[in-house]
Chain A
């Protein structure tokens, strides 16, 4: 395109506006198309039917009698084997001291150790 007949100010404004409009147009267009595709293709896993929550009685904090063993409150989806492993790990770390596991639930805020290791590796250069 011959721009020699235009002033610097005109060229500045015209190229900037054209450039930004086209860049936004292209990427907004892609956003719309990708979002549409996402609606069609996203693998939305059907939600598992909610199992009735275990109505375990909550042990009172002040209950002194250890003979009445309160039921352990376990979150759905955690198998007996996992409970056993967790209990064994706690027992091993506590050095034989008597402990009572009151509830087992997933720590949602925590990131899997391997994912954390991967992220650490990725961000290590700084």
Chain B
């Protein structure tokens, strides 16, 4: 009796995290990193809806012997999911991660995003599409930078897509091109998105003149409901025909938008943008965080990813603003170049930054709705860029 009791206690102690954590100190470091991210999400309000689940997923996956997530199931020599291993050893997060690996969660998030997005400012001022395209410059310059730093083309493509400033697009692309970098890339992408108000203003001021920043833009024309209904169908048609690899993202984004604009599917729209999106966000965040274990996160590659991610954001902002400058000149001073920076997506944060910087020059100036045009064009632009990378670069 006493022997069984003693043995049970010994086994429990041996299996407990307090003992085994010291066998691989990287897990301890990762737990501390997750605490820092939790602080950033809760204490500083850095994209808390995603960063908090990501941080907690990271915390859970690094708890010794909890076996919630096994990266070997998804990242192995065959490049396919090891279904046998999943059936035998799969933990909670392994099953939830299937939604990431199979490319289900990001398009569902886009469905909700579509329900919440008003493409009206873009339809009213379609020139904004150009700024949305120019702001994708960051993706490709960061891609070149990552190649120079020694990453493979597929890894470099995944790192570059951070410049799209679009979480679901970055996750969707990375899962297919370089799943082993998913944790680092997702954390870098969401952290920089939260830092957009700090990263963008100096670049915007550097590349614009005081006079151009103070330009007041004409009020946008009202957009008819017919235009708003036709828009999502037309965008899906054009973009999906041109870049089929991006159809899951664009298709779901535009389906959500059609739910919103059609006016006949209010219930579906409410569900997609609230309950469904919240559920998927929890699953996506926790499982993406779970991929960040010590072995693949505590490497020099993560530092390089963080640096290149910053470059991607900076170059993307610069690309948008420079095109804004060009449009300012061509339009004879009618377009405020500050709205170009909103082309990096990060809806609606980047548009708010344009508004804020513009208001500093001219307190009565309101650029918010004008900046929403390039902002939502950036979402379409980054999805197209992701489609290009997915079609050219070899999949993992």
Pairing of A with B: yes
Name the residue in B153, B230, B359, B377 with the highest tally of chain A Cβ atoms < 10 Å from its Cβ: B153
Known: A12-B147, A15-B389. A23 touches B364 (CB 8 A): no
* Contact mask for chain A residues 1-20; partner B; CB cutoff 8 A; 1 contact, 0 none: 11100001001100110111
- The size of the chain B interface, using a CB distance under 8 A, is 55
Cα distance A3–B355 in the bound complex, in angstroms: 43
Known: A3-B394, A38-B126. A23 touches B355 (CB 8 A): no
Known: A26-B243, A31-B129, A41-B224. A18 touches B392 (CB 8 A): yes
- Whether A27 sits at the interface, judged by CB under 8 Å, is yes
Contact A22 B242 (CB under 8 A): yes
- Whether B366 sits at the interface, judged by CB under 8 Å, is yes
Of the candidates B126, B226, B242, which one forms a contact with A35 in the assembled complex, judged by CB atoms under 8 Å apart? Answer: B126
* Contact mask for chain B residues 212-250; partner A; CB cutoff 8 A; 1 contact, 0 none: 000000000111101100110011001100110000000
Q: Quick check: which of A49-57, A71-79, A118-126 contacts chain B, the rest being far away?
A: A118-126
Cα distance A81–B236 in the bound complex, in angstroms: 50
- Whether A80 sits at the interface, judged by CB under 8 Å, is no
Residues of A within 8 A of B129 (CB): 27-28, 30-31, 34
* Contact mask for chain B residues 368-391; partner A; CB cutoff 8 A; 1 contact, 0 none: 100000000100110011001101
Contact A19 B388 (CB under 8 A): yes
- Whether B140 sits at the interface, judged by CB under 8 Å, is yes
Q: Using a CB-CB cutoff of 8 Å, which residues 25-43 of chain A contact chain B?
A: 25-31, 33-35, 37-38, 41-43
Of the candidates B148, B242, B364, which one forms a contact with A26 in the assembled complex, judged by CB atoms under 8 Å apart? Answer: B242
* Contact mask for chain B residues 103-135; partner A; CB cutoff 8 A; 1 contact, 0 none: 000000000000000000011101101101100
Contact A27 B381 (CB under 8 A): yes
- The size of the chain A interface, using a CB distance under 8 A, is 36
Closest to A25 in B: B242
Residues of A within 8 A of B235 (CB): 30
Contact B144 A27 (CB under 8 A): no
Residues of A within 8 A of B238 (CB): 26, 29-30, 33
**Taking the nearest CB of chain B, how far is it from the CB of A124, in angstroms?**
9
**Taking the nearest CB of chain B, how far is it from the CB of A20, in angstroms?**
6
- Whether B62 sits at the interface, judged by CB under 8 Å, is no
Residues of B within 8 A of A3 (CB): 153, 392-394
- Whether B197 sits at the interface, judged by CB under 8 Å, is yes
Known: A3-B153, A28-B129, A31-B127. A22 touches B224 (CB 8 A): no
**Taking the nearest CB of chain A, how far is it from the CB of B49, in angstroms?**
14
**Taking the nearest CB of chain B, how far is it from the CB of A38, in angstroms?**
7
Closest 8 A-B residue pairs measured CB to CB? A34-B126, A27-B133, A31-B129, A16-B140, A27-B129, A12-B144, A31-B126, A19-B388
Q: Mark B residues whose CB is within 8 Å of A.
A: 122-124, 126-127, 129-130, 132-133, 136-137, 139-141, 143-144, 147-148, 153, 157, 197, 221-224, 226-227, 230-231, 234-235, 238-239, 242-243, 348, 352-353, 355-356, 359, 364, 366, 368, 377, 380-381, 384-385, 388-389, 391-394
Q: Mark A residues whose CB is within 8 Å of B.
A: 1-3, 8, 11-12, 15-16, 18-20, 22-31, 33-35, 37-38, 41-43, 109, 111, 119, 122-123, 125-126
Q: Besides the contacts A19-B139, A20-B136, A111-B366, what 14 more A-B pairs have beta carbons closer than 8 Å?
A: A8-B148, A12-B148, A15-B157, A16-B143, A16-B144, A19-B140, A27-B381, A27-B384, A33-B238, A42-B221, A42-B227, A43-B224, A119-B368, A123-B355
- Show 12 residue pairs from A and B whose CB-CB distance is below 8 angstroms, ordered by the A residue: A12-B144, A12-B148, A20-B136, A23-B136, A23-B385, A24-B133, A26-B380, A33-B234, A34-B231, A38-B221, A42-B223, A43-B224
